[in-house]
Chains A and B, each alone.
Chain A
């Protein structure tokens, strides 16, 4: 039972010390993710891609693919930078500029210590970001 997030794709460089982060991000209010689970910068959030759209075009081949993000908190906003492991697939499909919308199911957090946390194991939550 994951956290489903639909967000526009944004291009912005991550902080240099954010290990594994690439320059494509999505975001959501922290009340849905870092706040309830007490997460911190550098935690890796993983799940699957539901779909990626560019206007009316659905990018076939990306749905169902695994995806990970690196968390960076900016005030009350969780910024999720695409993890370097997920980057080649998105890059090869041309998800390298704004205008794309991505919907992902996020179900696992891996902390730098190796500790893992399941996200919303009892219920699915959906967040839509403009």
Chain B
């Protein structure tokens, strides 16, 4: 149990680093990079949440997507799934920039940041219970 908690804490610190990089990139107007940092933070948080549920997910797109889809269905919270889809668009945009306009990307970032906050709160709640 202690080992799991340490691993979860490690994932949270990794996510913190990505979130800080997200804000740094946004401050510099580097929206493409900012979106990719959000994607990375989201991945780290999903891996942390899965660990709490006793699952060690491979750090791959498919399993993370499946986990989020399951979470969204379980909690009957469509916003989780919608935000994840936006995170996927941000991830794709990093490798193929120019598809979305800046304002669209900013709206996606705002949406994904809300999901990230929600996931942090879930992890924290689980660790405290």
Contacts and interface: CB of A to CB of B under 8 A. Distances in A.
Given A11-B106, A13-B110, A74 B27 contact: no
Contacts of A9: 27
A7 B116 CA distance: 22
A27 B116 CA distance: 16
B120 A74 contact: yes
A12 interface: yes
A115 B113 CA distance: 29
Interface residues of B, number: 21
Contacts of A8: 27
A29 B16 CA distance: 9
Contacts of B63: none
Interface in B1-40: 12-13, 15-16, 19-20, 23-24, 26-29
B56 interface: no
A130 B109 CA distance: 20
A contact residues, range = 10 to 19
Given A98-B28, A99-B29, A77 B110 contact: no
- In the complex, the 9 A-B pairs of residues with the closest C-beta atoms, listed nearest first: A8-B27, A76-B16, A13-B110, A75-B16, A75-B120, A74-B117, A10-B26, A10-B27, A27-B23
15 contacts: A10-B27, A11-B106, A13-B110, A15-B114, A27-B23, A74-B117, A75-B12, A75-B15, A75-B120, A76-B12, A76-B13, A77-B19, A98-B27, A99-B29, A130-B27
